[in-house]
A = this chain, B = another copy of it.
Amino acid sequence: MTRVPDEGMVLIPGGTLITATPDEGRALAITLARHTVHNIQPDLETLHAGRARYAGDPTGLIAAAQVVALEFATIAAANGYWR
């Protein structure tokens, strides 16, 4: 088994939900979702095989987008919506 590198396992990279811009907040949302998956399944080969399937499948892409939307809601609230 080839394991996800350590930096891919960090649950909250940077250790904070606060970001300088909405764009960085959005990138963090995507990262949080990915790193959760890495922590549940740390085997790189399994992840790559799975990615080939869901990323070519509209249902899988929409489901992934839903997780990003949920993570972003939390990050946006944490940042006072960058108002």
Contact = CB atoms under 8 A, between A and B. Distances in A.
A82 to B, nearest CB: 7
A16 interface: yes
B60 A59 contact: yes
Copies per complex? 6
Contact of A78 (B41, B49, B58, B81): B81
* Interface range on chain A (Cβ under 8 Å from partner): 35 or more
A57 B62 contact: no
Nearest to A72: B74
B22 A30 contact: no
A15 to B, nearest CB: 6
Contacts of A23: 10-12, 15
